[in-house]
Structure 1
Amino acid sequence: MNSNQIMVIYGNEPQKMIPPLLDAAGLLDDLKKDFVIGIKPNLVVAKESSSGATTDPELVGAVVEYLKVHGFNNLLIMESSWVGDSTKRAFKVCGYEEISRKFDVPLIDLKDDAYSEVRVDDLTLRICSKPLKVDYLINIPVLKAHCQTKLTCALKNLKGCIPDSEKRRFHSLGLHKPIAYLSTVLKTHLTIVDAIIGDLTFEEGGTPVQMNRIIAGKDPVLVDAYAAQLIGYEKDDIPYISLAERLGVGCADVTKAEVIELNQGTNSGKKFEASRQVMALAKYVVEKDACSACYGSLIHALERLRERGKLNALKAKVYIGQGFKGQKIEGIGIGLCARGCSISLPGCPPKARDIVEFLERLLK
């Protein structure tokens, strides 16, 4: 897998999705049998992944099983929940104790870890010692919105590798600069994004959106720039992405990315109950057998329009879903299946960023 490549696989069954994804990413080619491999999920709070807040334990379990099957046994699952919550409680509530028992993989609470001080330009960072010492770091964030930085994904998930006192200081420094600086020191070798269920507005969950995909990439900056578009933002809306690029961490130009989709989206599989906020946005939609990947993009796009104060100007409802294939409809269609609408945006699935731009042009 090259650094400019982004792999995407659609669905919501991680045990079936992870092996072909990691095969396509060429993970085994990067590893040596004696490597200590660190796995960093997002367990910001002690909430199940269905809340949109935390990394699906089935996904992490599938990654661990894949590595174990291929003879890699020096594995660590490392995390530090946000200030105010217990990592050990999160390991239990989020299903990670079961992974640890099943695969004999230790759970490392980084709140108990020592730390090292590292100077980056004009900033001294305190970073937990164990993440710095692993031979290969697999970052497994959740794709979700954030109340302060708009996006939390690859780069921001590394904030779980610093002491609680440093987390507080990151906030006092405005988050963006220290997040970018942290990524220059704490190198991620592979990012696997849990984009099965994320959150519409808040890093602690509560407004889950089902997008039914897992994403893999070696360049965390490129992954974040791509992820930003998936939920309706541009990279310039999230300053730490461009700052990390300027610091040499990676490339933020998505036009230079080779996006490889390993399969197509489907509307089959488990669907999760929508929150009130998602249901309020759904009032603008006429949905018929829509894939969660496509529908999730539309919901994120409508939320971005709401944030900009433009959603109330959308007077016509938006059609989406496989049930509209081949139909001629007078109205607005989103996605390939609704291309029979008089006004439509193609894509299978389209990015939320593209939907936002499309609807904003219609509202002018």
Structure 2
Amino acid sequence: MNKQDIIITYGSNASLMTKALMERIDIETLLPDKNASIALKPNLVVAVTADSGATTHPEIVVAIIEHLQGLGYHNISIVESAWVGDSTKEGFRVNGYIQISKQYKVPLVDVKDDAYVKKTVDGITMEVSKTILETDFLISLPVLKGHCQTAMTCALKNMKGALSDRSKRLFHTLGLNRPIAALNKVRAADLVIVDSLNGDLDFEEGGNPIQTNRMFACRDSVLCDSFGASLMGFENRDIPYIEMAQQLGVGSTDLAKAVMIQLNEPSDEVPPRPSGRANYLGKFTEPDSACSACYGNLIHALKRLDEVNRLKNVKQQICIGQGYKGKSDPLKVGVGICTRGLGKSLAGCPPKAIDMIKFIKELE
């Protein structure tokens, strides 16, 4: 797997999807030393299960451990810290990590109890987990989801779990963006496997998940977040820490040079009926057997338009889904390759939310 590669897979079985990604990554080429220490860094920001849209699916962690151990890697640990005021240990318990640890003999490291090393970048001094800093190979397992302060959280922000609670408070005092970029200059992940199965639409702590049924892998955290932003309908400038991290030399934002490797087509499974905020946004759609990845991207696009008060300009429902294959209607508009027979249609399987936004704006 090269630095500019983005490997994508679709489906609803997190275990099988993770195995497919790991087989394509070829970890033995990236990490020849079987005795090297490997840390898995999930997102357990709060003690809730993955169906909330807030935390990493534990099946992903198990599949990676099984794959690594099958190849002869045994110096593996799971390292994480919940946000200030919440318990990492409770997050481990709720999500089954205690059983995972016992079954696979993989230690759990609560960063809140870890030793810290002070590091200074861009004038910001932070206390970083000694375990994270000393691990030979760091695999970050973020959830692609919304965030009430930074708009989005993925690979770069997931590293915040490597900090002491005192440094987390400092980061919020400084406005998060510059500190997040600086943290990744101190230590960025060597490999990122993104849980984009059902991340929350708005909030880091979950509660309003959007089914997108996809996962993707990257080696460049900046490229990873640039791609994630486009999936959620954001420009990089909407999430300042992405370009700040590029300026610090953490990685590249240039998606034009990225090599997209799609392992399979989006799942045929219809997403569950949306609730809450997504239910309101769904009123602007006309789905017919829409797959999760495509429909989720459309919901994110509509959310972005609503944020700038342009949803009121959407005069007709946006068609989406496999039910439109082979249908022709010059009066309707749609997104996704399945709607290409309609009067106006945006190609892609699935098109990114950022492209959907541009398409819908052109309809006004």
- TM class by shorter chain equals over 0.9
Partner of 1:169: 170
Match of 1:302, SS state, is helix
**For residues 284-305 of structure 1, what are the alpha-carbon distances to aligned partners after superposition, in whole Å with 9 as ceiling and x for unaligned?**
1111111101111001101111
Letter aligned with residue 24 of structure 2: A
Shift of 1:103: 1.4
SS of 1:209 mapped into structure 2: coil
Partners of 2:287 and 2:229 in 1: how far apart?
A: 24
Matches within 5 A, 1:108-257: 108-257=109-258
TM-score by length of 1: 0.97
Residues 274 and 282 of structure 2 are in contact (CA less than 8 Å); yes or no, is this contact kept in structure 1? Answer: no
How far the C-alpha of 1:268 sits from its partner, in A, is 2.6
Is 2:341 the counterpart of 1:319? no
The equivalences for 1:204-353 within 5 A come to: 204-268=205-269, 271-272=271-272, 274-329=274-329, 330-353=331-354
Residue 197 of structure 1 aligns to a residue whose secondary structure is: coil
Answer whether contact 2:222 2:242 (CA < 8 A) is retained: yes
1:192 CA drift (Å) = 0.4
The aligned runs of 1:33-182 (5 Å cut-off) are 33-182=34-183
CA distance in 1, matches of 2:30, 2:38: 11
Partner SS for 1:171: helix
Per-residue CA deviation, residues 254-292 of structure 1 (Å, 9 max, x unaligned), is 1111111111002238x5453211111111111111110
Summarize the Cα distance change of 1:73–1:179 in structure 2 as closer, same or farther, 3 Å threshold: same
Q: Give the deviation of 1:24 after TM superposition.
A: 1.3
User: Identity over aligned residues, as a percent?
Assistant: 48
SS, match of residue 202 in structure 1: coil
Equivalent AA in structure 1 for residue 8 of structure 2: V
Partner Cα distance (2:286, 2:268) in 1: 15
Question: How far does residue 78 in structure 1 lie from its aligned partner after superposition?
Answer: 0.6
Quick check: 2:340–2:347 contact (8 Å CA) kept in 1? Answer: yes
Q: For residue 10 of structure 1, what is the aligned residue in structure 2?
A: 10
The alignment partner of 2:55 has SS state of coil
Deviations 1:105-131 (A, max 9, x none): 111111001101012132212111110
1:101 Cα deviation after fit: 2.3
Offset of 1:34 from its aligned partner? 0.5
Amino acid at match of 1:209: I
Secondary structure of the residue aligned to 1:199 is: coil
Which range is displaced more, 67-76 or 273-282?
A: 273-282
Q: How far apart are the structure 2 equivalents of 1:110 and 1:279?
A: 37
Deviation at 1:95, TM superposition (A): 2.4
Letter in 2 for 1:64: I
SS in 1 for 2:72: coil
AA in 2 matched with 1:333:
G
**1:50 alignment partner, SS class:** helix
Kindly provide the CA deviation profile for residues 328-355 of structure 1, in whole angstroms up to 9, marking residues without a partner as x: 1221111000111101101000000000
Counterpart CA distance in 1 for 2:220 and 2:342 is 38
Asked if the contact 1:50–1:272 (Cα under 8 Å) also holds between the matched residues in 2, the reply is no
Q: Which amino acid aligns with 1:318?
A: I
Which residue in 2 is equivalent to 1:354? 355
Contact map agreement 2:154 2:225 (CA 8 A) in 1: yes
Is the 8 Å Cα contact of residues 116 and 164 (structure 2) preserved in structure 1? yes
Deviation per CA, 1:219-260, whole angstroms, max 9, x where unpaired? 000000010000000111111100110111100111111111
Runs of 4+ in 1 over 2 A off after TM superposition: 271-275
Shift, 1:102, TM fit: 2.3
- Which amino acid in 1 is paired with 2:334? G
- Output the CA distance in 2 between the equivalents of 1:178 and 1:284: 38
Q: Which amino acid aligns with 2:232?
A: I
Q: Deviations over 1:204-224 (max 9, x none)?
A: 111101111111010000000
Gaps of 5+ in 1: none
- Residue 28 of structure 1: CA displacement? 2.1
- Distance in 1 between residues matched to 2:187 and 2:103, nearest whole Å: 29
TM-score normalised over the length of structure 2? 0.97
Q: Secondary structure at the match of 2:334?
A: strand
Residues 188 and 221, structure 2, Cα contact 8 Å, conserved in 1: no
> Is the contact made by 1:333 and 1:340 (CA closer than 8 Å) also made in structure 2?
no
Instruction: Report the Cα offset of residue 88 of structure 1.
Output: 0.4
Structure 2 CA distance for aligned equivalents of residues 81 and 305 of structure 1: 32
CA distance in 1, matches of 2:15, 2:186: 32
Verify the 8 A CA contact 1:12 1:212 in the aligned structure 2. yes
Gaps of at least 5 residues in structure 2 are none
